[in-house]
Homo-oligomer: A and B are copies of this chain.
């Protein structure tokens, strides 16, 4: 499909992304390219220019091409918590706003979906899981016609408890409650510890799904300053607890935060757990992206001594988005969470649990995770480079250490909502910043999911997206 020069450029792009060729290295000469690929001078030159244009190469006079210092390093880091005043009239139902955006994305034909917070299907071990399942179905077809087991499949609960151990959590398999994804776990956690009308502290920005849950449960969100590098401000939470007696719970995504991508340092995590324990406020930890960090850090739960932390995890982002398997440890609220899970939806189907258990307990899981993390790192870097090359001056980005998401701050005056609308008309979907707050604090931001490989079409879409931003550099 692609032209000859594009194929050659792609060939070297892989080496550049993989780090085989590093910043400062001399790039093969045009003559060498002509020989290696048996192409004309013009084709070899076009390939080089393409990589130069994408920011991977720089031409030095009379010396040929060199691998450029990644352009992403020129991006200023995202700014800290803002102090913008919020128009109180903006506090309308976030669900309606989010639903409208999600619905618009579905009505339009989307060629490049940058709104997804998940990797594409081939990046997960589908064949291995399918093989396990086919074997199970031969051995025990009645798994399908037997009532599902209380709190989940024992093998999966054991496998998850063992993984949790590596994150500093000591839990018996019997304490693990298997859920329908992390979303259901967070729902159950909130229902276990709050009553309608209560206030819940969340990070700002925060995952729009959480804002929808809060609204659905009749809870009020108070959004706390959160730094793009270090996460939630524990000081701000302390102040909020002093000033709002209706504050009944805190929900935090301390590792690979959605949308910021940041991870709280251990000492902040410890301080947060200590604060909540001292105030007797339940602390709900959403760890859905935790295992996407190369050295998965400690969890909030690992600092918990009194059962004040409810830990919620998931296999959706790391193993199999199609299985919808999540889980939770509910600390002091274990019995109540178990009862609510039973009341709400009973227990998940067994086949997927059995297959996931077998895979997670095998060495193949760790191998898969390493591959997934490496691939995602190269994606994040390629995306960031393309952003650096084609977004207007003033665009800010803090490159996360792991995960699937990039949080971009657009130049002053640019609107994420406007960009969303314009991009959608060109078949490109993004998540505008306005989804991540009940106010309109983040309309100057967008979230990009970088699960998809940075192929031709993707890089072209990012480039076009950058050109659609109406920053002051470009005017309107």
Interface residues of A (CB under 8 A from B): 95, 99, 102, 106, 116, 118, 121-127, 129-130, 133-134, 137-138, 141-148, 150, 179-181, 183-184, 187, 191, 195-196, 209, 212-213, 216, 218, 320-324, 339-340, 342-352, 355
Contacts and interface: CB of A to CB of B under 8 A. Distances in A.
Contacts of A355: 144
Q: Which of A123, A322, A347 has the most CB of B within 10 A?
A: A322
Given A343-B212, A349-B352, A125 B145 contact: yes
A118 B346 CA distance: 14
24 contacts: A95-B343, A121-B145, A121-B146, A122-B142, A123-B145, A127-B141, A142-B322, A144-B352, A147-B321, A147-B322, A148-B321, A180-B345, A183-B343, A183-B345, A187-B344, A187-B345, A212-B339, A213-B344, A322-B349, A322-B350, A322-B351, A323-B349, A345-B345, A349-B352
Contact of A180 (B121, B150, B180, B320): B180
Contacts of A122: 142, 145
Given A133-B137, A134-B138, A352-B349, A147 B343 contact: no
Contact of A196 (B99, B125, B143, B218): B218
Given A118-B147, A129-B141, 12 more contacts: A126-B144, A129-B144, A137-B137, A144-B352, A144-B355, A148-B324, A179-B345, A187-B344, A196-B196, A213-B344, A216-B343, A351-B351
Contact of A137 (B134, B147, B196): B134
B322 A143 contact: yes
Contacts of A187: 343-345
Contacts of A352: 144, 349, 351
Contacts of A106: 150
A335 B324 CA distance: 23
A360 to B, nearest CB: 14
A145 to B, nearest CB: 4
A333 B413 CA distance: 39
Q: Which of A102, A141, A179 has the most CB of B within 10 A?
A: A141
Q: Which of A212, A320, A343 has the most CB of B within 10 A?
A: A343
A314 to B, nearest CB: 11
Given A130-B138, A134-B134, A142-B122, A324 B351 contact: no
Contacts of A322: 142-148, 349-351
A146 to B, nearest CB: 4
Question: Sorted from nearest, which 5 A-B pairs have the closest CB atoms?
Answer: A130-B141, A124-B145, A126-B141, A130-B137, A121-B142
Contacts of A350: 322
Contacts of A344: 183-184, 187, 213, 216
Nearest to A147: B321
A143 B352 CA distance: 12
Contact of A142 (B126, B137, B183, B349): B126
Given A138-B130, A349-B349, A216 B196 contact: no
A183 B346 CA distance: 7
A179 B209 CA distance: 18
Nearest to A352: B349
A136 to B, nearest CB: 9
A344 B183 CA distance: 6
A126 B212 CA distance: 38
A467 to B, nearest CB: 29
A347 B184 CA distance: 11
